[in-house]
């Protein structure tokens, strides 16, 4: 079985599907926006990519969240908690990292099972 690639470019793909699993590239929001706005944008991108892959947020297996500053943890969680499907919480890790530019405050990487 060969992987399927979605939005594949010179350097990376936004989604790689192998078997019944979708692996999403790290998603970022608009640079310079607040942590709340960037988190909302990231989660909207994740929703879109999961739909295109044949999945949805109720099938997320794991999430890796990188914050530029752990002081933003509560602000990010306020958005995350409203978005995630209750009773279907993925395994999750959150850490602080120097992101691509100082304008980025959050990046989220998702692994999800496909629907059905």
Name the band, by pLDDT with cuts 50, 70 and 90, for residue 95.
very high
The pLDDT assigned to 35 comes to 97
> Would you say 105 and 69 are in contact if contact means Cβ atoms under 8 Å apart?
yes
Give the CATH number, domain containing residue 89.
3.30.1330.40
Tell me what pLDDT residue 63 has.
98
On the question of pLDDT at 5 being above 90, the answer is yes
- Give me the chain's average pLDDT, please: 97
Domains held by the chain: number: 1
Q: What is the pLDDT of residues 16-62, one digit of tens each?
A: 999 999 999 999 999 989 999 999 999 999 999 999 999 999 999 99
Higher pLDDT residue, 116 or 73?
73
pLDDT for the residue 10: 96
pLDDT of 13 reads 97
| Range of the structural domain that residue 98 is part of | 4-113
User: 10 Å Cβ neighbour count for 71?
Assistant: 10
pLDDT value of position 116: 78
What is the 3 state secondary structure string of the chain? CCCEEEEECCCCEEEEEECCEEEECCEECCCCCCHHHHHHHHHHHHHHHHHHHCCCHHHEEEEEEEECCHHHHHHHHHHHHHHCCCCCCCEEEEEECCCCCCCCCEEEEEEEECCC
Does the pLDDT of residue 1 top 90, yes or no? Answer: no
């Amino acid at each position: 079985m060969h992987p399927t690639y979605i939005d594949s470019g010179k350097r990376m793909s936004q989604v790689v599907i192998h078997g019944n699993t979708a692996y999403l590239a790290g998603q970022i929001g608009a640079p310079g926006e607040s942590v709340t706005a960037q988190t909302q944008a990231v989660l909207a991108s994740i929703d879109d990519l999961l739909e295109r892959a044949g999945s949805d947020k109720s099938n997320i297996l794991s999430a890796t969240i990188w914050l530029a500053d752990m002081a933003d943890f509560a602000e990010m969680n306020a958005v995350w908690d409203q978005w995630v499907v209750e009773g279907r919480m993925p395994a999750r890790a959150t850490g602080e990292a120097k992101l691509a530019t100082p304008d980025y405050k959050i990046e989220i990487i998702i692994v999800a099972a496909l629907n059905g």
